[in-house]
Amino acid sequence: MFFNSLIFLVFISIFFLLYFAVKGLPRLLLCLAASYFFYGWWDWRFLSLIVLSTCIDFYVGGRIGNTEDPGIRKRLLWISIIANLGFLIFFKYFNFFIGSFKEMLVDIGMHTNMDTLNIILPMGISFYTFQSMSYTIDIYRKQLQAEKDILVFATYISFFPQLVAGPIVRAIDFLPQFTMDKKYDSNRIIQGLGQVLWGFFKKVAIADSLALYVDLCFGAPATYGSLHLIIGVIFWAFQIYCDFSGYSDIAIGLAKMMGFDFPKNFRTPYFSKNFSEFWERWHISLSSWLRDYLYIPLGGNRNGSFGSYFFVILFFTITLFITQWWWLLIPGIIVAASLFWYKGQGQKQEAKTFTYLNLMVTMLLGGLWHGAAWTYLFWGFLHGSYLIIQRLFSKPYNQTLNTLKVPVFIQNGMSIGIVFFATCFAWIFFRAASFDDAFTIIKSISSLADFSWSAVLHKLIVVKCAFLIMLLLIVEIAIQKYDLSDWLLRYPIFRVASFAMILWIIAFFGTFGSNAFIYFQF
Amino acid sequence: MSIVQQEKIAPTTSTSTQKQSWLWIPIFLLVVVAGDRAGGFILKQIESKSKFRFTKLYHEDAACDILIAGNSRGLSFYQPFIEEKSQQKVFSLAYNGMSSSLGLVFIKDYYDLYAPPKKLILEITCADRFNHELTPAFATYSSYSTHLREFLKKESNKTYYASKLSHLLRYNSEVFQRSLRYLKNDDKLWLTDRTISEAMQEESKLLDNVSIDLIPELQISLAEIVKLAQSKGTEVELVVAPFLPNYHSALYNLDAYIQEVEKNTGLQVHNYGNAIKDSKLFGDYFHINVFGSEKFVDQMHQDGLF
């Protein structure tokens, strides 16, 4: 069931009528039943996977919470991690690895009867798996007490507003909210409704309109000129932002109406002045999850662990054998030699080395989290590289600008421009169907062939989308800088005007047809 | 931690405030509907000022001697060139992706509103595909035409009812955006001046076994257009506009398609599919550019089509 479908409108209307009519246990049961119904509407068979995951983590979490024996706690934690990652790897990555391995064997002249399986990717598996894992890990770390009520836990895992595309809400933030009695609160309803409407504006009016142009660009990149493709790449950057942050806004808004507070998932990421800031503003729930459950356990910016080296060597070896890009050995050896050299330069340099390594591993896994394709992995590699380059060069870069006495607003503008440009470059690989397509786009853009307005097709869509992007940026800046949303929601006259305005804009600019949200596939 | 075991009371607003807080909802709904209707009215006024072909059609500004119809390939019948050669008044109802079934709607409207033209030139490849995305875009003109409303109801039921609910929605379409584009300029000059890119030309060499679809329903609509025009005393010319030579070579069933059209309509088709050999006269595989059109129109004139 998509948020932007008629059936969801019916579903949510009935749900809210019942939600505020009951409380206590019936309300909890209603939430759980509605969540399972919402997910089962897509494919009821995969409900069993959610139920299984719920049962395993509820049991394991309870057992970890009930014992102080470090050995048993660790073993139980591994059961949870292996079970969750096992589901994820099987459904999401099995065919990818088998397929890549088969290609490699064929390339070296060996033939195999290994077959890929006809596996359907369960919607939202990456989201609820990570959510579920955070529960057992937090209990293991003694940051959270095990939940005693399986209904509460099952509702937490399957909570429909954020089940299929996040935000990834951690048990430590979410479970305590179940203890609150959530009476009808008009202020929360208004705030939530405002956020839901804003989310629909982003999805239906902007993301889906941009999709019309972006799909054509990335569908047959060889047929378009450079300006057409540049516009296509920029539009894609905004499409994915509006699609995903639109979903998050709807999810957070619905939860707010129900009485739950979810953390923000996006904070105008394209205004970031460096790449670390970008990751503090983009898909915050995933980046903070990766930071807390992967980057820091690997050693973070302090030291390294066996894990950092293990993952790097594993990635490198798999990439080398599958792609057979043997030339990668040369930069590989150079990087390894530099690491050893750095390691010998004292504790400070050693810590830096591990920081770079840990950053790269985290970003590579972050890339792979999005999907089973080499292009996603490369996207992660690019972002890992950006973060490393930033750490290496930000100091001399800032010093140079200060020496040249470049005004601060120009410095900020340049930084935002660089981050946006580099992010767009990485987005090409994220969206392209293959490396060939991505390189075709990059080659065409860099050649500047057909760099003219007359060579741009679908000019009407371009003008419409450019207008909508401008509108989005103006409103988001106003909301962030002047706390506009609070002011708009407080006074009925402004509230009515702003809500009505959003509906009119959606009616006039929206692209309808229940297009799925991009992040459903992850 | 259970919801049943321990319940804390979250801060809420008082009952009187709750009651007051409901008041804005009916006002909001009223504002939404009023604004929608007002917006729809204003946009209709703006649309009516356009010099776009469909606005002209419904505002009695489309009377002509030669009527043109078809999809984007029908745009190759460049109006200024035909007017210059024929010294007659030309009006085009061709539109990107227009199928023969949708074209039939506008041709019916044309005959309802105007005296029959002397000639109808119809580009026949408009019967090769349905374009379900285009039909809703014409909701912009639904208030003017019963034929169009019926067609919308049949082909795009959701749009039909949604555009009754919201008048703003009627103007959420590429057709309306195009009408805005022609607020000042006449759309007679609507034809690309772009030349096909080197990359596309290279890619066209790899084309093989390309087909044109034979869709019975659309063939019937095409035949209905011919029948309607003939019944009103209009002479009909069926034409295949030029394809890029490499594309034309790869198109294996064009002759069968033409035979089917000839069988259904009883008319001979003028096949210019391979009439233009110079790639530079094309914008892409299917469309000649304005320079190509000059040559094409000249050829049609020499052949006595108008």
Q: Is A379 inside a domain boundary? A: yes
pLDDT of residue B9: 39
The answer to whether B177 contacts chain A (CB < 8 Å) is yes
**Gap from B81 CA to chain A (nearest CA, Å):** 22
**DSSP per position, A455-503:** G-S-HHHHHHHHHHHHHHHHHHHHHHHH-HHHHHHHSHHHHHHHHHHHH
Q: Residue B1 is nearest to which of A179, A182, A492, comparing CB atoms?
A: A179
DSSP tag of B124: G
In chain B, what residues touch A186 (CB-CB under 8 Å)?
Answer: 13, 17-18, 21-22
Here the ipTM equals: 0.78
Q: Domain range for residue A325?
A: 278-407
Q: How many domains does chain A have?
A: 3
Other beta carbons less than 10 A from residue A290's beta carbon: 21
CA–CA separation, A503 and B174 (whole Å): 19
Continuous H helices in A301-373 = 306-323, 329-343, 347-370
Residues A38 and A157 in one domain: yes
Residue of A173, A174, A186 to mutate for B, most B C-beta atoms under 10 A = A186
Q: Which of B3, B31, B39 sits opposite A152 (nearest CB)?
A: B3
CB < 8 Å to A449, chain B: 197-199
CA atoms within 13 A of residue A218's CA, in its CB half-sphere: 23
B240 pairs with which residues across the strands?
B271
- Mark whether A129 and A211 lie in a shared domain: no
Considering the domain architecture, whether residues A43 and A113 belong to the same structural domain is answered as yes
CB A208 within 8 A of CB A510: yes
- Neighbouring CB atoms inside 10 A of A464's CB total 22
Report yes or no on A472 lying in a domain. Answer: yes
Dihedral (Cα; A17, A20, A22, A23), 10-degree rounding: 150
Question: Cβ B199–A259 below 8 Å, yes or no?
Answer: no
The chain B residue lying nearest A188, using CA atoms, is B12
Give the one of B22, B28, B172 whose C-beta lies nearest to A499's C-beta: B28
Chain A positions touching B194 (Cβ under 8 A) are: 454-455
What's the CA gap between B32 and A501, in Å, rounded? 8
Contact A25 B3 (CB under 8 A): yes
Distance of alpha carbon A274 from alpha carbon B164, whole angstroms: 49
Catalytic residues of A: 370
**B188, B79 Cβ separation under 8 angstroms:** yes
* Ramachandran angles phi, psi of B69, nearest 5°: -145, 155
Contact B239, B269 (CB under 8 A): yes
- Residue A24's φ and ψ, nearest 5 degrees, are 70, -140
Question: Taking CB atoms and an 8 Å limit, are A500 and B178 in contact across chains?
Answer: no
Whether B85 has its CB under 8 Å from any CB of chain A: the answer is: no
Token digits of residue A164: 């299929």
Q: What are the phi and psi torsion angles at B238 (to 5°)?
A: -100, 130
Residue A463 sits in the same domain as residue A345 = no
| Cα angle, residue B62 at apex, residues B60 and B63 outer, rounded to 5° | 95
| CA–CA min distance B165, chain A (Å) | 10
Is the CB of residue B54 less than 8 Å from the CB of residue B181?
no
CB contact under 8 A, B172 and A180: no
- CB-based contact B2 A507, cutoff 8 Å: no
> Cα(B138)–Cα(B30) distance, rounded to whole angstroms?
27
Secondary element (H or E) of residue B201: helix B198-204
Min Cα separation B84/chain A (Å): 26
Chain A residues in contact with B21 by the CB 8 A cut-off are 186-187, 190
B28 → closest Cβ in A151, A450, A496 = A496
HSE-up of A494 (CA within 13 Å, CB side)? 8
CB-count burial class (<10 Å; 0-12, 13-18, 19+) for A157: buried
Q: Where are the beta strands (DSSP E) in B101-241?
A: 119-123, 235-240
Query: How close A436 comes to chain B (CA, Å)?
Result: 15
Asked if A148 and B17 come within 8 Å (Cβ–Cβ), the reply is no
Nearest-Cα residue of chain B relative to residue A499: B28
Q: Do B8 and A180 touch (CB under 8 A)?
A: yes
**Which among A380, A407, A434 is the end of a domain?**
A407
Same domain, yes or no: A139 and A21? yes
Cα-Cα-Cα-Cα torsion B21, B25, B31, B32, nearest 10 degrees, comes to 140
- For A454, the closest chain B residue by CA position comes to B194
Would the CA dihedral through A500, A504, A505, A506 be positive or negative?
A: positive
Question: Which of A27, A508, A511, A512 to mutate: most B Cβ within 10 Å?
Answer: A508
Let me know whether A303 and A342 are in one domain. Answer: yes
A192 and A179 in a common domain: no
| Residue-averaged pLDDT of chain A | 86
The beta-carbon neighbor of A24 closest among B4, B13, B194 is B4
Q: Is the peptide bond before A167 cis (omega within 30 degrees of 0)?
A: yes
Furthest CA-CA distance within chain B: 92
- The answer to whether B218 and B99 are in contact (CB under 8 A) is yes
At residue A344, the pLDDT reads 64
The per-residue pLDDT string of chain A (522 residues; one tens digit each, 9 = 90 and over) reads 788 888 899 999 999 999 988 888 999 999 999 999 999 888 888 888 899 999 999 999 999 999 899 899 999 999 999 999 888 888 877 777 777 777 767 766 766 666 666 667 777 888 889 999 999 999 999 999 999 999 999 999 999 998 888 799 999 889 888 877 777 788 888 889 999 999 999 999 999 999 989 998 999 888 888 898 999 999 999 999 999 999 999 999 999 999 999 999 999 999 999 999 999 999 999 999 999 988 888 777 776 666 666 766 777 777 676 666 777 778 778 777 776 776 666 666 666 777 888 888 889 888 888 877 888 989 999 999 999 999 988 888 889 988 888 898 899 999 999 999 999 999 999 999 889 999 999 998 998 877 778 777 788 889 999 999 999 999 988 887 887 777 777 888 888 899 999 999 999 998 887 566 666 665
**A15 domain-assigned:** yes
Q: Which residues of A touch B3 (CB under 8 A)?
A: 24-25, 27-28, 149, 152, 178-179
Ramachandran angles phi, psi of A346, nearest 5°: 105, 175
Q: DSSP class of residue A164?
A: T
Distances (CA, A) of B246 to A425, B129, B209: 34, 22, 11
What residues of A are in contact with residue B9 (Cβ under 8 Å)?
180-181, 183
CA distance B274 to B279: 11
Q: What residue of B is the nearest CA neighbor of A492? A: B24
Tally of CA atoms within 13 A in the half-sphere of A119 that contains its CB: 19
**Is B4 in contact with A28 (Cβ distance < 8 A)?**
yes
Q: Give CA separation, A410 vs A415, A418, A486, B107, in Å.
A: 8, 12, 31, 58
CB atoms A27 and B3 under 8 Å: yes
Point out the domain boundary residue: A354, A381, A407: A407
d(CA B237, CA B70): 12
A442 falls within a domain: no
| A79 and A167, same domain (yes or no) | yes
- How many A/B residue pairs have CB atoms within 8 Å? 120
Residues A89 and A93: their CA atoms lie apart, in Å, by: 5
Q: In this structure, what is the dihedral angle of CA atoms A156, A160, A165, A168, given to the nearest 10 degrees?
A: -20
Contacts of B193 in chain A (CB under 8 A): 454
Q: What is the Cα Rg of chain B in Å?
A: 25
pTM, 2 dp: 0.82
> Is the domain of A197 the same as that of A156?
no
CB contact under 8 A, B8 and A500: no
Contacts with B11 from chain A: Cβ below 8 Å: 185
- Encode chain B (306 residues) as per-residue pLDDT tens digits: 333 333 343 444 445 555 556 788 889 999 999 999 999 999 999 999 999 999 999 998 899 999 999 999 998 888 888 998 889 999 999 999 999 999 999 999 999 999 999 999 999 999 988 888 889 999 999 999 999 999 999 998 988 999 999 999 999 988 998 999 899 888 888 877 788 888 788 888 888 889 999 999 999 999 999 999 999 999 999 999 999 999 999 999 999 999 999 999 999 999 999 999 999 999 989 999 989 999 999 999 999 888
Note which residues in 27-56 of chain B have CB less than 8 A from chain A: 27-28, 31-32, 35-36, 39
Is position A445 within any domain? no
Report CB contact under 8 Å: A223, B193.
no
Asked if B251 contacts B211 with a C-beta cutoff of 8 angstroms, the reply is yes
CB contact at 8 A, A103 and A318: no
Whether residue A428 is contained in a domain is answered as no
Least CA distance to B13: which residue of chain A? A185
Q: Are A204 and A166 in a shared domain?
A: no
Instruction: With respect to residue A302, please indicate whether it lies within any of the assigned structural domains.
Output: yes
Of the candidates A259, A464, A497, the beta carbon closest to that of B10 is on: A259
Judge whether A127 lies within some domain.
Answer: yes
Q: Which residues of chain B make contact with A460, given a CB cutoff of 8 A?
A: 174, 177-178, 181
**Beta pairing partners, B90:** B66
Q: What share of chain A is helix, strand, coil (3-state, %, to 5)?
A: 80, 0, 20
Looking at the fold, whether A19 and A137 belong to one and the same domain comes out as yes
Rounded to whole angstroms, how far apart are CA atoms A511 and A215? 14
| Chain A residues within 8 A of B174 when measuring between CB atoms | 460-461
In the numeric block, the tokens 């516009």 are attached to A231
Which of A137, A158, A183 is the last residue in one of the domains? A183
Question: What are φ and ψ of residue A449, in 5° steps?
Answer: -70, 140
Domains present along chain B, CATH in parentheses: 44-302 (3.40.50.1110)
Chain A residues in contact with B27 (beta carbon < 8 A): 492, 496
Which residue, among A500, A174, A103, A163, has the nearest Cα to A324 in the 3D structure? A103
DSSP A180: E
pLDDT at residue B3 in the model = 38
Distance CA A164, CA A519 (A): 8
pLDDT given at position B38: 96
Residue A240: CB atoms within 10 A of its CB come to 20
Q: Which residue of B has its CA nearest to A490?
A: B21
Compute the distance between CA of residue A198 and CA of residue A245 in angstroms, rounded to an integer: 10
> Do A349 and A477 fall into the same domain?
no
CB burial string A302-323: b at 16+ within 10 A, e below: eebeeebeebbeebeeebbbbe
How many CA atoms lie less than 13 Å away from B14 in the CB half-sphere?
Answer: 2
Distances in whole angstroms, Cα of residue B150 to Cα of each of A109, A407, B102, B157: 63, 63, 11, 10
Contact A179 B18 (CB under 8 A): no
Q: What type of residue sits at position B166? A: S
Tokens representing residue B277 in the block:
């050999």
> How far is Cα B126 from Cα B222, in angstroms, rounded to an integer?
8
* Interatomic CA distance for residues A455 and A227, integer angstroms: 8
User: Taking the CB of residue B202, how many other CB atoms lie within 10 A of it?
Assistant: 11
